Amino acid sequence: MTEPQVAAPRQILVVGSSRSGTTMMGRVLGRHPDVFTFEELHFFEQLWQPESPPPPIQRSDAVALAARLIAIQREGYHHHAGGTGFETEAARLVDTITAPLDAPSVYGAFLAAEAGEHGATVACDQTPRNLYYLGEILDLFDTARAVIMIRDPRDVLLSQKNRWKRRQFSGVGRTTRRNAVRTWAGYNPATISLLWRSGARVAERWRDDPRVVVVRFEDLLADPEAQTRRICAGLGLEFDRGMLDVPRVGSSHQPDQPEVTGIDRSAAGRWKSGLTPTEAWICQRIDRDAMAKEGYEAEPLRPTALGLAGAATTLATKSVLAVALNAGRARNLVEATRRRIGR
């Protein structure tokens, strides 16, 4: 098979609803010799709310922003201390910027410098929520490309349901107790299903854009090589067989197995044994139309009155707790919410 001869982009975005396979896709791309995959940086929405045109910033603010990005990358998103200890490195980075000094120029310089330190020419940011800022990002970085991951919403629901248990698995040292509580509070079949529907609608708008590759998680599991070749073609990368040798880590259902490599084809359809009929029914009721567009068939299910009452009862209390625990994860909570509900 002849590989595409297309100039590689400087930046790849891996986006999609949470627990849709974005982390695994980031690892696949990160095994390409030209690509370095970052931690989830959460630059857009948390560190900077997009404005057009981006307003200029003072050098001191640029250094503080660069220090935070460096800290997230070095120490992990849930453990970083806000940039403390990285000010000198950040100042050196900012002093290399020749473009007008604004938040996107700091972000772009950081991506290029960090990727270069690892011998890569392409930076991969795998922050899922960048899906809701894709238009602004592609406008800001004209060589950027994106991969949007889509997964059966019932499997997304199951993964979100079990996500808080990641802290219990052996070998997992980067999940804090606060994050475990936050993910537990964020789970309700109705809210997760609504978020999946919102993400699917955003993905639909980008499906025919040549800068974007939309990938169904299940298709990737079924034929990893063919799908990875298709993804590489869309991104302007030459396929490398080593991309498929990803370690099996990050699952919500089992401990990490870094010594085992290869894409786990059993990761599809787990919802059938992991969700209650009521949870799956709620998901199908909310997402039915979007599921059909993505090729996911609804199954005949019968909810229980007790299950529906439980979901309704916990919705309000968990929602309040989730908002409180997520308050610092967006600079503008109203704008973040508006983007997710599509208004």
Q: What is the pLDDT of residue 319?
A: 72
Contact between 166 and 175 under an 8 Å Cβ cutoff? The reply is yes
Write the pLDDT tens digit of every residue in 48-61. Answer: 999 889 999 999 99
How many degrees, rounded to 5, is the angle at CA 221 between CA 220 and CA 222?
95
Domains of the chain: 11-34+121-341 (3.40.50.300)
Q: What pTM did the predictor assign?
A: 0.87
Q: Which residues of the chain have pLDDT under 50?
A: 1-7, 170-173
CA 165 to CA 180: how far, in whole Å? 7
The strand pairing partners of 216, in sequence order, are 150
Query: What's residue 76's pLDDT?
Result: 85
Number of Cβ within a 10 Å radius of residue 117: 9
How far apart are the C-alpha atoms of 92 and 95, rounded to whole Å? 5
Structure letter (DSSP) for residue 102: B
Q: Measure the CA–CA gap between 25 and 13, rounded to whole angstroms.
A: 10
* pLDDT at residue 327 in the model: 61
Round to whole Å and give the CA distance between 96 and 90. 10
Residues near 266 by Cβ (< 8 Å), separated by ≥ 6? none
CB 135 within 8 A of CB 202: no
User: Residue 270 CB: number of other CB atoms within 10 A?
Assistant: 18
Residues 258 and 247: beta-carbon distance below 8 Å? yes
Task: Please tell me the distance from the alpha carbon of residue 285 to that of residue 298, in angstroms, as a whole number.
Answer: 9
β-bridge mates for residue 13, sequence order:
125, 146
Q: How many CB atoms lie within 10 A of CB 24?
A: 24
